[in-house]
Amino acid sequence: MRRPSARPRRLTVVLAQWCPHCVPLSVRKGRQLSKRLGVPFRTLDIDRRGQEKVADRLVRVHGDASPDYLIPQVFLEWSDGRVQHLLTGFSEQVARTARAWDDLFESDWLRSVREKGSP
Amino acid sequence: MRRRGTLPSALRAALESPGGQCYRHCDRPVRTRRFSRVLPGTWHVRACPSGVVSVTAYIEWTRRDPTRAVRNALRRWTVPRTLVRSWDLRIATRHGPELGRAAERELAALRPPRGVRVVYWRLYPFRARDETERRLFVCFRRTHPSPVFFASSPTATTWGCPACSRRRPSSLGRKLRGASVRARRLRDRKIPSR
């Protein structure tokens, strides 16, 4: 059950540098979203050993886990400790993932989070 | 009343593929073939007119992870079944806000609340033992009870569907049986004339 007092705390994008759905698209959109939410932004690169383990755990526990999981995956951490999976890239053209980001920006969910905190 | 796993209309529209072209094969437009079989959700097979598959997606409105059931269904439809490997199946959850406002509202209003799970099967081109390139093809001939996925060379001149070629001996057999029946009838007719 979500507590109304919870606030967004950090936005994370799990990505790889070679993925066109991730770089530059999801880095740019992730930064924009974190600005709108007023939270810090971080990326976790699955090809960097130190970040890979954190990314794998985040995906395994809160995201869309598969043996060779999809990227990008976007997570929002809340002040009450919850981690919310927001978006997984589309296994189609980059334009489809871009549209998903745009829809997220226009969503009732984002408006509600910005107005009231937890939706 | 909605069939278990089937998607409401706004969600279905939001999950439609934007199209695109056959990647590194023929540059012709990719078409999506939709069907419901074996599982409660919907299958989308995106392939070019030559039958080269870009991606196969299984979409279900559910809380559970349908990956295992998808793998089993695909293995039943694929020759050889070892082409369907676990690491080529990838799940994605669509929550609603990333699908557009209409789909978001429709999904938010539905009870019990569930997301949409999509399992993608993407088999990248690979080299066979003889070093020739192989790609994943699909055959949708009406005579097959289900789609048939198989690997073949994109430059092959013959349609390599194993289910179609399996049918050949039986149809040939029918023809031979027909020929022998005709021959017997002719022979029988000849006997009285002798």
List the domain boundaries for chain A. Answer: 8-116
Looking at residue B166, its pLDDT comes to 61
CATH 3.30.1490.20 correct for A8-116? no
Q: What is the mean pLDDT of each run of 10 residues along chain B (194 residues)?
A: 65 81 83 90 93 94 93 96 96 95 88 86 92 93 91 86 67 43 45 36
Residue A63 near residue A69, CB atoms below 8 Å? yes
Chain A residues whose beta carbon lies within 8 Å of the beta carbon of residue B104: 103, 107-109
Q: Which of B82, B2, B81, B85 is nearest to B40 (CA)?
A: B2
Domains of chain B, by residue range, sit at 9-160, 166-194
pTM of the model: 0.85
What does the pLDDT read at residue B157? 81
What pLDDT is attached to residue A54?
97
ipTM: 0.93
Nearest to A80 by CA among A43, A42, A118: A118
- Which of B90, B122, B123 best probes binding to A when mutated, by most A CB atoms within 10 angstroms? B90
119 residues of chain A, pLDDT tens digit each: 455 678 999 999 999 999 999 999 999 999 999 999 999 999 999 999 999 999 999 999 999 999 999 999 999 999 999 999 999 999 988 999 999 999 999 999 999 999 877 66
- DSSP annotation of B119: E
Among A residues 15-34, those touching chain B with beta carbons less than 8 Å apart: none
